[in-house]
Amino acid sequence: MTKAHKQWKVLPHGKLQRIDDNMLTVIGDIPMPLMKLSRRMTIVRLKDGRLVVFSAMALDENGMNAIEAFGHPTFLVVPNDKHRLDSRIWKARYPQLCVATPPGSLDKVEDVVAVDSTSPQFDDPSVQFVAVPGTGDRESALVVTGRSGTTLVLNDVVGNVREASGIGGWLLRRFGFAGDRPQIPGVVRMVLLKDARALRAQLLRWADIGSLRRILVSHGVAIEDNPRQVLRDLAATLAT
């Protein structure tokens, strides 16, 4: 696992994009041996202007200024113990942050940064924190309602990397993060998946959200083409 940063370190990243009236997202890269792994940070603005930062990423000063203009960083969600790379430096920059992670990731995340909650309450019915069933409570997600509909913010449980070439692309395909369609990565099945039936049931519950507009994943492009059917198809791969 890449060691958590101790100093503010800006890795390559794109520009913040507005997803809905209450959401921003940005995609960056983590240089790794033989490949670059894409990663995503998503920021949700609560009704009172507080911000929920999901899978934190250090941005350049223009990006950080844009975040601060959008709202007040208040919650830092470390979605699992593999996504703690920038959590310590975000907490150092914003000491008031309430750090949250799912209960199954608590111990490893606390090796890097003190955790305040494993079930954060945002006091906003449009934003829900979910410890994803079937993952041993190690993986978390957000369900966010905005003007355009509902956005499901996932982490590692679904991969959707499309542009993957060379040795790095081969490795990403081998691990199941890259392919021609969204998928539950093989490494997730091996490491995170503890109860296939429970995860299948959760995917189907999300698929029943009539207002579902998009799915954001930490590794890959947004899923906007019939996301409800995508969830049903993913659930079918877990059928026993």
Tens of pLDDT, residues 188-211: 888 899 999 999 999 999 999 999
Tens of pLDDT, residues 169-192: 556 666 666 657 898 988 888 889
Cα–Cα distance between 88 and 111 in angstroms, integer? 10
What is the reported pLDDT for 59?
98
**pTM for the full predicted model:** 0.92
What is the reported pLDDT for 32?
67
Domains of the chain: 17-236 (3.60.15.10)
What is the reported pLDDT for 98?
98
pLDDT average, residue stretch 110-137: 97
Tens of pLDDT, residues 61-72: 999 999 999 999
Torsion of CA 66, 70, 73, 77, to 10 degrees: -90
Select the more confidently predicted residue: 135 or 166: 135
Q: Where are the alpha helices (DSSP H) in 16-147?
A: 61-70, 87-93, 106-109
Is pLDDT above 90 for 43? yes
Instruction: Look at residues 16, 36, 39 and name the one whose alpha carbon lies nearest to residue 26.
Output: 16
